[in-house]
């Protein structure tokens, strides 16, 4: 255990300790000598030697202590070497708490769930799927270097990332019976396309209608395709828009996209000040078919070819509805289910210094308490005139 100061220059405030000393010395000058007539005829005696005398020692010492603590507070003291060296055992949700307790051989072991905040094992088991790798790295960074860590995991993990955790310490990886509940992916919801095109322009409409029908379940009653002219009201930003109108895209459409909408533009549509930055769809030969970019909170895409089979042969492929639907679906989550034996952490990672304990808050409370006591001693009625 050692004491250090993050701002040693604050100790210069110790010079203020002279103030209470000077104030208590100045109290002598409050006594005014008074001459008595009868004493004038007495033989003058030598005056006693002047001595430095301090009155009210308890109040003086309290003021000196108060100023000394204030100087220490300004120097920002920290205390290191008070780390808790008890071993840790964290349990992945999905393992029975009673079974996990039998894995702890040291009675001093601290038992916690591997979940955000690392709750005690006495608390109910977390229901959410934890990010196992991230939590292990966080715990490794927060624990002192010499603390032993044991992780009790079921045979199958859910919530693992793409890389085995690399920690600064060797971890006891105990695999027990059990499995975390799998996250069931929700089935894709029916999607209705909203198409805006010039009146009488049927270019590519038959292919879009066929793809939209392929997305619908057999018992669907809603129309898979909503067709309107360019001046028709725009849908809500949650519905994708196919803008099959050549020429400049109106500002109202751009504002709709910036508000969170997704639009697929005609190959002849032009954008003012917006450049495509990525390719969203390529054919089997690697030729770009749809380019895309972000715009505000939304996304804008554009065909690179007209919707004609001679220009885009994929229109007549059986996979065309699936590829078109993928343009509007959010990216799928990466697989996160893995065997626990294949996800055991490896050692050799960088260690993290443990932050020392900050003493400023405790000093502040002590200073406030002593200041109240000093004011009470200095203003009590039974006290004589004080500096």
pLDDT tens per residue, range 44-56 = 555 555 555 666 7
Sorting pLDDT into bands at 50, 70 and 90, what band is 304?
very high
In sequence order, the 6+-apart residues with CB closer than 8 A to the CB of 173 are 151, 153, 340, 344, 345
Q: Which residue has 């203003």 as its token pair?
A: 379
Tokens read off for 57: 């020692």
| 331, part of any domain | no
Question: What predicted TM-score, i.e. pTM, was given to this entire model?
Answer: 0.47
The tens digit of pLDDT for each residue in 317-328 reads: 989 999 998 898
Residues 101 and 154 in one domain: yes
In sequence order, the 6+-apart residues with CB closer than 8 A to the CB of 209 are 224, 225
Residues 130 and 220 in one domain: no
pLDDT value, residue 150: 94
Residue whose C-alpha is closest to residue 245's, from 299, 192, 200: 200
Q: Could you tell me which residue, 26 or 242, shows the higher pLDDT?
A: 242
| Helix, strand, coil % over all residues of the chain, rounded to 5 | 30, 20, 50
Q: Could you tell me which residue, 319 or 36, shows the higher pLDDT?
A: 319
Distance of CA 338 to the CA centre of its chain: 26
Tokens read off for 323: 């590829």
Tally of CB atoms within 10 A around 257: 26
Whole-angstrom CA distances from 29 to 25, 52, 55, 107 are 8, 12, 12, 68
Residues 310 and 205 in one domain: yes
Can you tell me the distance from the alpha carbon of 250 to that of 272, in angstroms, rounded to the nearest whole number?
A: 10
Q: What interhelical angle do 320-328 and 205-215 show, nearest 10? A: 80
pLDDT value, residue 223: 64
Sorting pLDDT into bands at 50, 70 and 90, what band is 337?
confident
Residue 342 has pLDDT above 80, yes or no: yes
Q: What interhelical angle do 57-74 and 360-379 show, nearest 10? A: 150
In sequence order, the 6+-apart residues with CB closer than 8 A to the CB of 361 are none
Q: Which residue has 């020692």 as its token pair?
A: 57
Where b means 16+ CB within 10 Å and e means fewer, 179-196 reads ebeeeeeeeeeebbbbbb
| 383, part of any domain | yes
Sorting pLDDT into bands at 50, 70 and 90, what band is 256?
very high
pLDDT value, residue 250: 93
Residue whose C-alpha is closest to residue 245's, from 224, 270, 225: 270
Residues 198 and 300 in one domain: yes
Where b means 16+ CB within 10 Å and e means fewer, 110-144 reads bbbbbbeebeebeeeebeebbbbbebbbebbeebe
The tens digit of pLDDT for each residue in 286-300 reads: 999 999 999 999 999
Q: Could you tell me which residue, 140 or 331, shows the higher pLDDT?
A: 140
Using the 8-state DSSP alphabet, how is residue 324 labeled? Answer: H
Quick one: which H or E segment has residue 69?
helix 57-74
In sequence order, the 6+-apart residues with CB closer than 8 A to the CB of 57 are none
| 330, part of any domain | no
Residues 112 and 7 in one domain: no
Q: What interhelical angle do 18-26 and 57-74 show, nearest 10? A: 160
| 21, part of any domain | yes
Structural domain for 138, as ranges:
88-181+338-343
Residues 95 and 159 in one domain: yes
| 188, part of any domain | no
The tens digit of pLDDT for each residue in 122-168 reads: 999 888 888 899 999 999 988 888 889 999 999 988 888 878 899 99
| 368, part of any domain | yes
Can you tell me the distance from the alpha carbon of 342 to that of 295, in angstroms, rounded to the nearest whole number?
A: 41
Residues 69 and 108 in one domain: no
| 307, part of any domain | yes
Residues 172 and 202 in one domain: no
Using the 8-state DSSP alphabet, how is residue 383 labeled? Answer: S
Can you tell me the distance from the alpha carbon of 75 to that of 10, in angstroms, rounded to the nearest whole number?
A: 4
Domain count, the chain: 3
Residues 154 and 233 in one domain: no
Residues 126 and 143 in one domain: yes
How much is the mean pLDDT over the chain?
A: 83
Residues 219 and 284 in one domain: yes
Can you tell me the distance from the alpha carbon of 205 to that of 194, in angstroms, rounded to the nearest whole number?
A: 11
Say what percent of the chain tops pLDDT 90: 37
Determine contact, residues 140/349, Cβ cutoff 8 Å: yes
| 39, part of any domain | no
Residues 279 and 384 in one domain: no
Distance of CA 298 to the CA centre of its chain: 25
């Amino acid at each position: 255990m050692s004491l250090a100061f993050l701002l040693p220059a604050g100790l210069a405030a110790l010079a203020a300790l002279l103030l209470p000393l000077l104030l208590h010395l100045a109290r002598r000058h409050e006594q005014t000598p008074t001459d008595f007539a009868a004493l004038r005829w007495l033989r003058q005696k030598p005056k006693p030697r002047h001595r430095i005398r301090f009155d009210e020692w308890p109040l003086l010492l309290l003021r000196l202590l108060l100023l000394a603590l204030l100087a220490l507070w300004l120097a920002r003291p920290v205390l290191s070497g008070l780390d808790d060296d008890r071993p840790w055992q964290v349990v992945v949700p999905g393992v029975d708490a009673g079974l996990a307790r039998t894995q702890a051989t040291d009675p001093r072991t601290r038992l916690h769930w591997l979940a955000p905040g690392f709750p005690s094992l006495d608390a109910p088991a977390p229901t959410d799927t934890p990010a196992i790798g991230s939590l292990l790295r966080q715990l490794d960074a927060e624990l002192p270097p010499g603390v032993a860590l044991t992780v009790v995991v079921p045979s199958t993990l859910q919530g693992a990332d793409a890389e085995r955790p690399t920690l600064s310490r060797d971890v006891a990886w105990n695999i027990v019976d059990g499995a975390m509940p799998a996250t069931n992916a929700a089935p894709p919801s029916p999607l209705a396309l909203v198409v805006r095109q010039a009146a009488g322009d049927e270019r590519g409409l038959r292919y879009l209608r066929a793809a939209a029908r392929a997305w619908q379940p057999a018992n669907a009653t809603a129309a898979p395709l909503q067709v309107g002219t360019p001046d028709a009201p725009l849908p809500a930003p949650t519905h994708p828009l196919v803008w099959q109108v050549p020429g400049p895209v109106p500002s109202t459409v751009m504002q709709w996209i910036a508000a969170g909408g997704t639009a697929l533009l005609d190959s002849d549509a032009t954008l003012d000040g917006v450049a495509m930055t990525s390719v969203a769809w390529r054919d089997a030969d690697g030729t770009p078919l749809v380019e895309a970019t972000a715009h505000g909170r939304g996304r804008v895409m554009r065909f690179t070819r007209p919707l004609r089979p001679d220009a885009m042969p994929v229109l007549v492929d059986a996979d065309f509805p699936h590829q078109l639907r993928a343009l509007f679906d959010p990216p799928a989550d990466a697989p996160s289910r893995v065997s626990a034996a294949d996800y055991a952490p490896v050692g050799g990672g960088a260690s993290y210094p443990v932050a020392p304990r900050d003493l400023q808050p405790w000093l502040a409370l002590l200073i406030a308490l002593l200041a109240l006591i000093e004011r009470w001693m200095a203003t009590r009625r039974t006290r004589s005139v004080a500096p």
